[in-house]
């Protein structure tokens, strides 16, 4: 329905602690000397920041809902427990997710402000053109924050190790196809309210680009990143793409987001609540590079595979790429990338995952 966060990913062999794409930010901050986070105070801060921004755009203020906050808190606790950042399946409310971590000295007292997530979401305003129907949800957090007919806000907050997870739910939900021009006014509101576009159905539209073009763009971006790491380019393989497409179709039909069991190939999968570009998908995967230690095997060190999308993308011995993409009935996009030979093999990371600008 109104799921707003642009994308969530699940990497080969393990779930990541952050998603990419840009929808969830992890900007390091100076730790504050407060150990515990007061959830009630945090929720009030979050509500206030939402309404500060909504006032700038002349839309009604949100009201904090205890019931909706309990709903949000339940999911935040689940994400913290599983160390994932994924949308709640079949959510009838709008939803924004946010993640931030602190590493190093002083992080035992690290604290975030209730407005931090909202500030990051509102920052997407630089990507958004008011008065038009967007081609994608690059600014999906922003539009849900400002959606004119949303009335109630729920806020959930949880900690997982060095990470803080925030879940906000909105009722009624936003981000309906055909209603953006009317429901997301610019700063100062509408002087002459635009004519709303006809709403063809719930959820966001599929991408205009074909799956073939999507696959070619996915290949191009992969090879740009691989070149940075001094490893050979991949080539598109029709057989591997057929394999990837079959799994993407299966996931879309079943409305699931899981890896194929016993796959002979490496696999990255991607989910977006609406159509997403190949660049958005690949950038989300490659964004895990920031947390990767090139000097140690992640399995042998005990760290686990937290950068599995990235490592599969640049795995030196992988030669072929297959890409599949499908859409659920609600308009969500699921993409599957398969790699041959497969990557992310225990004991082979240091020989196959090269630092930027270096060759082995």
- Asked if residues 100 and 116 have their Cβ atoms less than 8 Å apart, the reply is yes
Same domain for 216 and 345, yes or no, is yes
Residue 189, domain member (yes or no)? no
CATH code, domain carrying 321: 3.40.33.10
Same domain for 218 and 143, yes or no, is no
Residue that finishes a domain, picked among 165, 183, 201? 183
Nearest to 321 by CA among 233, 237, 225: 237
Residue 22, domain member (yes or no)? no
Residue that finishes a domain, picked among 146, 165, 183? 183
Strands 152-160 and 163-171: antiparallel
Which of 2-6, 23-27, 117-121, 209-213 shows the highest mean pLDDT?
A: 117-121
- Asked if residues 159 and 80 have their Cβ atoms less than 8 Å apart, the reply is yes
Nearest to 15 by CA among 317, 288, 293, 333: 288
- Number of domains forming the structure of the chain: 2
Confidence of residue 112 (pLDDT cuts 50, 70, 90): confident
Pair of tokens at residue 252? 């879309």
Same domain for 165 and 101, yes or no, is yes
**pLDDT tens by residue, 54-94:** 999 999 999 999 989 999 999 999 988 887 778 888 788 89
Same domain for 176 and 284, yes or no, is no
Same domain for 168 and 251, yes or no, is no
pLDDT above 90 (res 106): no
Same domain for 236 and 317, yes or no, is yes
**pLDDT tens by residue, 148-171:** 999 999 999 998 877 889 999 999
Residue 31, domain member (yes or no)? no
pLDDT above 80 (res 210): no
Contact residues for 352 (Cβ-Cβ < 8 A; gap 6+): 231, 311, 315, 316, 317, 343, 345
Residue 89, domain member (yes or no)? yes
251: domain range? 211-351
Residue that finishes a domain, picked among 134, 166, 183? 183
Same domain for 154 and 224, yes or no, is no
Residue 256, domain member (yes or no)? yes
Residue 68, domain member (yes or no)? yes
pLDDT above 80 (res 34): no
Distances (CA, A) of 348 to 40, 201, 227, 241, 300: 47, 48, 20, 25, 10
Residue range 118-140: mean pLDDT, rounded: 92
- Asked if residues 64 and 158 have their Cβ atoms less than 8 Å apart, the reply is no
Same domain for 139 and 241, yes or no, is no
Same domain for 173 and 44, yes or no, is yes
pLDDT above 50 (res 202): no
**pLDDT tens by residue, 314-347:** 999 999 999 999 988 877 889 999 999 999 999 9
pLDDT above 80 (res 308): yes
Residue 205, domain member (yes or no)? no
Confidence of residue 191 (pLDDT cuts 50, 70, 90): confident
Is 0.85 topped by the overall pTM?
A: no
- Asked if residues 19 and 99 have their Cβ atoms less than 8 Å apart, the reply is yes
Residue 243, domain member (yes or no)? yes
Say what the alpha-carbon torsion angle 295, 298, 300, 303 is, to the nearest 10 degrees: 120
Same domain for 251 and 321, yes or no, is yes
Strand positions, DSSP E, the chain: 8-10, 63-64, 94-101, 152-160, 163-171, 235-236, 266-272, 320-327, 333-340
Measured distance CA(235)–CA(113) in Å, rounded: 46
- Res 192: pLDDT: 63
Same domain for 145 and 234, yes or no, is no
Same domain for 247 and 137, yes or no, is no
């Amino acid at each position: 329905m109104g799921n707003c966060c642009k994308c969530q990913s699940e990497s080969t062999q393990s779930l990541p602690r952050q998603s990419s794409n840009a929808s969830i930010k992890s900007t390091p901050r100076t730790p504050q000397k407060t150990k515990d986070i007061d959830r009630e105070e945090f929720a009030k801060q979050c509500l206030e920041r939402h309404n500060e921004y909504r006032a700038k755009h002349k839309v009604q203020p949100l009201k904090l809902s205890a019931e909706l906050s309990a709903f949000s808190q339940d999911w935040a606790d689940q994400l913290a427990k599983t160390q994932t950042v994924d949308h709640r399946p079949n959510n009838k409310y709008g939803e924004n997710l946010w993640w931030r971590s602190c590493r190093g000295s002083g992080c035992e007292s690290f604290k975030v402000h209730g407005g931090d997530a909202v500030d990051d979401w509102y920052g997407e305003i630089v990507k958004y053109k008011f008065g038009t129907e967007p081609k994608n949800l690059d600014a999906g957090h922003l539009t849900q924050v400002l959606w004119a007919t949303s009335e109630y806000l729920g806020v959930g907050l949880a900690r997982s190790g060095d990470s803080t997870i925030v879940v906000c739910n909105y009722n009624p939900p936003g981000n309906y196809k055909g209603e953006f021009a009317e429901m997301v006014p610019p700063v100062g509101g509408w002087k002459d309210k635009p004519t709303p576009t006809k709403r063809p159905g719930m959820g966001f539209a599929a991408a205009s680009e074909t799956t073939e073009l999507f696959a070619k763009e996915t290949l191009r971006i992969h090879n740009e990143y691989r070149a940075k790491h001094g490893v050979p380019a991949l080539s598109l393989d029709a057989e591997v793409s057929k394999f990837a497409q079959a799994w993407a179709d299966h996931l879309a039909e079943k409305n699931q987001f899981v890896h194929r069991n016993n796959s002979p190939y490496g696999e990255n999968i991607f989910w977006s609540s609406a159509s997403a570009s190949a660049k958005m998908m690949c950038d989300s995967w490659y964004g895990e590079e920031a947390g990767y230690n090139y000097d140690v095997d992640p399995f042998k060190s005990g760290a686990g595979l937290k950068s599995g999308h990235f490592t599969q993308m640049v795995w030196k011995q992988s030669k072929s790429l297959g890409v599949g993409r499908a859409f659920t009935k609600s308009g969500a996009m699921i993409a599957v990338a398969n790699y041959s030979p497969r990557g992310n093999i225990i004991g082979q990371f240091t020989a196959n995952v090269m630092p930027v600008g270096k060759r082995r």
